[in-house]
Amino acid sequence: MTIDDSPPLVRPRKRIGRRRRLATTITVAALLLGAGGYTVASATAPLPEASAVVNTIGPSPIGAALSPAWPAADAVGAISLLDNSDVFMSSDAGGLHTIASITKVVTALMVLDAHPLSAGESGPTIPFTTQDQAATAQIIAVGGTTLDVPIGVALSERELISGMLVASANNYAEKLALWAYGDIDSYLSATRAWLDANGLTEMTIVDSNGLEDGNVAMVENLIQLGKLALANEVVADAVSHDVIELPSIGEVKNTNPLIGDDGFTGIKTGYTVAAGYCLLFAREMPVLDETGTAGEETATVIGVVLGADSVAERGELSRVLADSVLGTVHQESILEAGTQLGTLEAPWGDLTPLVAAEDVSVRVWGSATAEWTASPVTQTTPVVAGSAVGQLTVSFVDAETPTDASSQSVDIVTDTELTDPGLWWRLTHPSLMFG
Torsion of CA 206, 209, 212, 216, to 10 degrees: 60
User: With bands split at pLDDT 50, 70 and 90, how would you rate the model's confidence at 44?
Assistant: confident
Q: What is the average pLDDT across 400-410? A: 68
Amino acid residing at 120: G
**Could you tell me if 58 and 109 lie in one domain?**
no
Whether residue 2 is predicted with pLDDT greater than 50 in this model: the reply is no
Task: Point out the residues that are catalytic.
Answer: 101, 104, 168
Percent helix, strand and coil across the chain, each to the nearest 5: 35, 30, 35
Residue pair 266/282 in contact by the 8 Å Cβ criterion: yes
In a domain, 5, yes or no: no
From CA 366, how far away is CA 343, in angstroms rounded?
Answer: 35
**Could you tell me if 378 and 229 lie in one domain?**
no
**φ, ψ for residue 231, nearest 5 deg:** -80, -10
Of 295, 327, 359, the domain-final residue = 327
CATH code, domain carrying 389: 2.60.410
**Could you tell me if 147 and 270 lie in one domain?**
yes
**Could you tell me if 129 and 259 lie in one domain?**
yes
Which among 395, 411, 407, 314 is positioned nearest to 356, based on CA atoms? 411
User: With bands split at pLDDT 50, 70 and 90, how would you rate the model's confidence at 40?
Assistant: confident
CATH code, domain carrying 292: 3.40.710.10
**Could you tell me if 288 and 150 lie in one domain?**
yes
The number of folded domains in the chain is 3
Whether residue 242 is predicted with pLDDT greater than 90 in this model: the reply is yes
Residue 362 has a pLDDT of 87
**Could you tell me if 84 and 107 lie in one domain?**
yes
**Could you tell me if 163 and 311 lie in one domain?**
yes
Return the higher-pLDDT residue of 100 and 347: 100
**Could you tell me if 33 and 85 lie in one domain?**
no
Return the higher-pLDDT residue of 422 and 26: 422
Query: How many residues make up the chain in this entry?
Result: 435
Residue 37 has a pLDDT of 76
List CB contacts of 7: < 8 A, sequence separation 6 or more. Answer: none
Q: What is the domain extent for residue 25? A: 13-44
Instruction: Identify which of 216-230, 348-362, 400-414 has the greatest average pLDDT.
Output: 216-230
Of 296, 327, 358, the domain-final residue = 327
Whether residue 61 is predicted with pLDDT greater than 80 in this model: the reply is yes
In a domain, 6, yes or no: no
From CA 275, how far away is CA 291, in angstroms rounded?
Answer: 43
In a domain, 33, yes or no: yes
Amino acid residing at 159: E
Mean pLDDT lowest among 111-125, 183-197, 301-315, 393-407? 393-407
pLDDT, tens only, 146-188: 999 999 999 999 999 999 999 999 999 999 999 999 999 999 9
Residue 28 has a pLDDT of 45
Q: Binding site for substrate: which residues?
A: 268
**Could you tell me if 212 and 250 lie in one domain?**
yes
Residue 431 has a pLDDT of 81
Tell me, rounded to whole angstroms, the distance of Cα 308 from its chain centroid. 33
From CA 242, how far away is CA 364, in angstroms rounded?
Answer: 31
**Could you tell me if 117 and 130 lie in one domain?**
yes
From CA 126, how far away is CA 176, in angstroms rounded?
Answer: 9
Q: What is the average pLDDT across 176-204? A: 99
**Could you tell me if 249 and 358 lie in one domain?**
no
